[in-house]
Structure 1
Amino acid sequence: MHQFWSFDPKYINLNHGAFGAPPTPVQRASNVLSDQIEESPDRFFRIDWYPMLDSVRERLAKFIGARKEEVVLVQNATVAASVVLRNFEWRDGDILVGMSTTYRGVFKNIEHVRDTNPHITLSDFHLGFPITNAEIVKSFREHIRAIPRPAATSANPDPKIVCVLDSIVSNPGILLPWKEMVKICQEEGIYSVVDAAHSIGQEMDLNLEEAQPDFWFSNCHKWLYAKRSCAVLYVPKRNQHIVKTGFPTSHQYSSPGQPLPADWIKKTETNGDEWAVPFSWPGTVDTTPYLSVNAAMDFREWVGGEAVINEYCQNLAREGGKRLAEILGTRVMDESATFEQTLNMTNVELPLRDVPADKIEFANNVLRDRLLLEHKIYAAHFYHNGRFWTRPSAQIYNELSDFEKMGAAFVKVCKEIEATLKQDA
């Protein structure tokens, strides 16, 4: 499979989860589409674009177990988080729940909502790994139930609680029992906003109509193989009245109570799909990533389909993680017998001990520079719960020997860091 990617032959990519990497057939399809756009930009943007976008939305909706009228495309997961959180009408007494493992870009959106609405309250649910799924569900339920319910007032007759949670944490790369967490939110009358940036193309049987999150979004340019960058945002009909505008606000936006312009309804052939219209034209942007989803899904079917791809990646993540831990003399984070938290990413402790707090950034910078510039190999690395970890991604272009080469590189670089810290002490 490695022949179908454009990597430098000297480079080993074990960090697919960060930025994704489109296969060469997807790149070629995107280039053909780009040439087509430039042959007649006006025809493309005024006529061809809308039915092509609808075909992608239709396919993605089926893939994630939703309806087309509940699915739109945006630039990336951080944009999707911004769209959802900034469309809520925040009032005095409302509560916004985040997690200690929330991706930094999404966390900053939470912070900005608080900064611009100082009358709301933030609640932080802390997660420190290793921890089992049963313990996560138990502590999450306890945290949610311990939140004081805001009292209704004349200024806020219907106070709300909104919880932002992960399906798959970015760092560490852990699959959470997010469907159970969504159910807890439902039971407690709380809106669930699921950051599923890593889910599509990695997590099988999503079936959002059954899981019933209030909001859900995922990057198509990561595990689904689309061109960078593109994300799908799911908003069920019951909550579409909350999301009144995309980001940025399109010239197709209509104020509440005002009908959409008839010409836009005609162009997009909405058939009950009016909510999605303002998302179909976010201004002049590169539309090829959105449309590359079809080529990406075609490639996945040609390779063998979702089950074949993910069976290979999950087996490699598990075996590669164990082999890497052996080389490093450490452990994998998910030590459960069934690998309940491991999909296509594994987490392995690095042999870095007793690093002073003021040297953590230094250690991460050395790891980054040595791995990329000297060893020509990379996997995400981070500091979590008092330890340094790495998060290798397993992809169909990887094999076990990549993990072994990664181990050799980490052993060397970690020894360099420890020697430098000892000398500076």
Structure 2
Amino acid sequence: MASSNTTSQLADGASSAFGHSLRQEFPFDADYRNFNQGSFGAWPTAIHTRLRAYQDRANARPDPFIRYELPKLLDASREVAAALLRAPAETVVLVPNATVAINTVLRNLTWHPDGRDVLLYFSTVYGGCGKTIDYIVDSHQSPGQPPLVSSREIPLQYPFEDRDALAAFEAAVARCATEGKRPRLCVFDTVSSLPGIRFPFEALTRACRAHGVLSLVDGAQGIGQIGLDLGALDPDFFLSNCHKWLFVPRGCAVLYVPVRHQGLIRSSVPTSHGYVTSNSTNPRLNPLPPSRNSPFVHNFEFTGTIDCSPYLCVTDALRWREEVLGGEAKILQYTQTLAREGGTRTAAILGTEVLENSTGTLGRCSLTNVALPIQFTTEGGAGAEADGISALSAAEAPAVIQWILGKLMEDYNTFIPLFYGNDKIWARMSAQVYLEMDDFEWAGRALLEICQRIAAGEHRGAAN
């Protein structure tokens, strides 16, 4: 299928600029193919120019800019981000990344002294968020005493149906009840990281509300990749990285806290001048001008000296997406369709499959996950051949993944995240406005060549 035809079919009704014609808008190396928008993001040169302009303004007049201009520009960015999320501006603040946002929520919550509180999370949790949950449990435990708060993983096996995730949540809540525990909060994704699949976050938010469980929606992969309406969703807490899919420079994320819960979030992370102290006998000097915003928003206006220029680019990124690409609906139509069709084409080249459930809900995003033609066995040695490519021992999977990643970078000048599951290695690929179907065909051929090199034992030769 020719690239031009593919582009027009994928972007029916969208701007003809989608596809390779957009590569010139991004500062990629000429021969680099970016299949990994979902990790660290990428932004157009036009937005990079705006980033430098904000930095230049801060350097030209540091105090006037940081003390007086910056708060107004931050308000403007918060307002456009809130409008995109369909949330009130007073419920949205900007933080460096999703990890900071998760930490901000979990470190601010207090736990009942009876020790019955439980943090629920799914086995799909992002590793950094899982470690934050571990820290909360560990840091609320005295030597020789049970923890003040505990955690419970809700297991899921891919490819699961939406109803399976809901049933697993309901079972975890019921189990807590039988054990005399109190499910206090549940962490779940909009789109999970590895694999990159859409989670039934809308239904889970409703289920949390029905059980009196706080919902912490990890939308790190959300804004700019899927449509979001926080007014309709009404989560207890929500966060999303703007630097992954929204074309905002690293690092910038939104943290949403509805007014009803803002009293729970007493401090930013780290704590700074916006913190409302209970120490009335020793007031702290705040050298910054008075804020016109609520205590919650003021808390996040200044958290120490950092480069806030990425925050200010939210306004510019949304304007660029509207003026150059035609707006959010056209962007999502193109990228989600390309992810679905590109994943299918890559799997056909590899002779494998796309990770999807029977109802097709996992793939309703701009990521696709394709199995590599390498079978693994839990037996002690390698298994039989599958489609001409030898099966390997499961114990070899981590080393094989690292070898493939190295070859993708060294020999093919690209990077495609890989993960192991269901006795297979899966490739997670991002669909983006500067890619076309032939990029996915190229990726399929590259991955097939690498798998054939594994079949020839090249990966073991490198290890030796």
Report TM bin, short chain: over 0.9
- Which of the residues 11, 24, 28 maps onto 2:49? 28
2:163 matches 1:140: no
Q: Are the structure 2 counterparts of residues 135 and 335 from structure 1 closer, same or farther at C-alpha, using a change threshold of 3 Å?
A: closer
Describe the shift of the 1:34–1:265 C-alpha distance in structure 2 as closer, same or farther (beyond 3 A).
closer
CA RMSD of aligned residues (A): 2.3
Residue aligned with 1:9, SS: coil
Residue type of the partner of 1:114?
A: V
1:123 equivalent in structure 2:
152
TM-score (norm 2): 0.85
1:345-356 equivalences under 5 Å are 345-354=367-376, 355-356=392-393
Task: Give the letter aligned to residue 170 of structure 1.
Answer: S
1:215 aligned partner: 237
Alpha-carbon distance in 2 for matches of 1:165, 1:258: 39
State which of 286, 309, 313 in structure 1 corresponds to 2:335: 313
For the residues of structure 1 that align with 2:288 and 2:91, how far apart are their CA atoms?
A: 16
> Which one of 50, 63, 66 corresponds to residue 87 of structure 2?
66
TM value normalised by structure 1: 0.93
1:382 corresponding residue in structure 2? 419
In 1, Cα distance between equivalents of 2:199 and 2:76:
31
In structure 2, the residue matched to 1:156 is none
Range 88-97 or range 138-147, more displaced: 138-147
1:257 shift after superposition: 8.5
CA distance in 2, matches of 1:14, 1:38: 35
What whole-Å deviation, never above 9, does each CA across 1:221-273 have from its counterpart, x for those lacking one? 01111011100000111111111111111122122486998978963311xx2
Letter in 1 for 2:408: L
Aligned position for 2:266: 244
Counterpart contact for 2:160–2:357, Cα < 8 Å: no
Structure 2 residue 58 is the aligned partner of structure 1 residue 37: yes
Q: Deviations over 1:161-197 (max 9, x none)?
A: 1111111111111111101001111111111111000
Tell me the CA shift for residue 148 of structure 1. 2.4
Match of 1:333 among 355, 358, 361: 355
CA contact (8 A) 2:375 2:423 kept: no
Superposed CA offset, 1:89-108 (max 9, x none):
13422111121111111111
Judge conservation of contact 1:51–1:268 (CA < 8 Å) in 2.
Answer: no
Q: Check the 8 A contact 2:335/2:433 in 1, yes or no.
A: yes
Question: Which amino acid in the other structure matches residue 62 of structure 1?
Answer: A
1:7 to 16, 28, 41: 28
The sequence identity of aligned pairs, in percent, is 36
Q: Is the Cα–Cα contact under 8 Å of residues 352 and 387 in structure 1 kept in the other structure?
A: yes
Give the conservation status (yes or no) of the 8 Å contact 1:168–1:176: yes
CA distance in 1, matches of 2:286, 2:99: 31
2:67–2:289 Cα contact (<8 Å) kept:
no
Question: In structure 2, do the counterparts of structure 1 residues 208 and 128 end up closer, same or farther at CA, with 3 Å as the change threshold?
Answer: same
Contact persistence 1:79–1:247 (CA under 8 A)? yes
Question: How far apart, in 1, do the equivalents of 2:134 and 2:158 lie?
Answer: 24
Does the 8 A contact of 2:371 with 2:424 survive in 1?
Answer: yes
Show the 5 A alignment for 1:336-375: 336=358, 338-339=360-361, 341-354=363-376, 355-375=392-412
Runs of at least 4 residues off by over 3 Å? 149-152, 256-267, 335-341, 421-425
Within-5 A mapping of 1:13-412? 13-91=34-112, 92-118=115-141, 119=147, 120-148=149-177, 161-204=184-227, 206-256=228-278, 267-270=290-293, 273-302=294-323, 303-336=325-358, 338-339=360-361, 341-354=363-376, 355-412=392-449
What is the one-letter code of the residue matched to 2:450? V
Query: Any conservation in 1 of the 2:173–2:183 contact (CA below 8 Å)?
Result: no
> 2:387: which partner in 1?
none
Contact 1:17 1:198 in 2 (8 A): yes
Structure 1 distance, partners of 2:52, 2:74, is 17
When residues 114 and 128 of structure 1 are mapped into structure 2, their CA distance, relative to the original with a 3 A threshold, is: same
Mapped partners of 2:91, 2:285: distance in 1: 21
Letter in 1 for 2:428: R
Aligned residues: 416
Structure exhibiting the larger radius of gyration computed from Cα positions: 2
Once residues 338 and 184 of structure 1 are traced to their aligned partners in structure 2, the CA distance between those partners, rounded to angstroms, is 22
The amino acid that maps onto 2:111 is: W
Deviates most, 90-99 or 415-424: 415-424
Where 1:183 maps in the other structure, the secondary structure is: helix
- AA paired with 1:249? T
Task: Please state how far the C-alpha of 1:2 moved relative to its aligned partner.
Answer: 1.1
- Mapped to 1, the partners of 2:88 and 2:330 lie a distance apart of 26
User: For residues 197 and 127 of structure 1, what CA distance do their matches in structure 2 show?
Assistant: 20
Structure 1 distance, partners of 2:280, 2:396, is 57
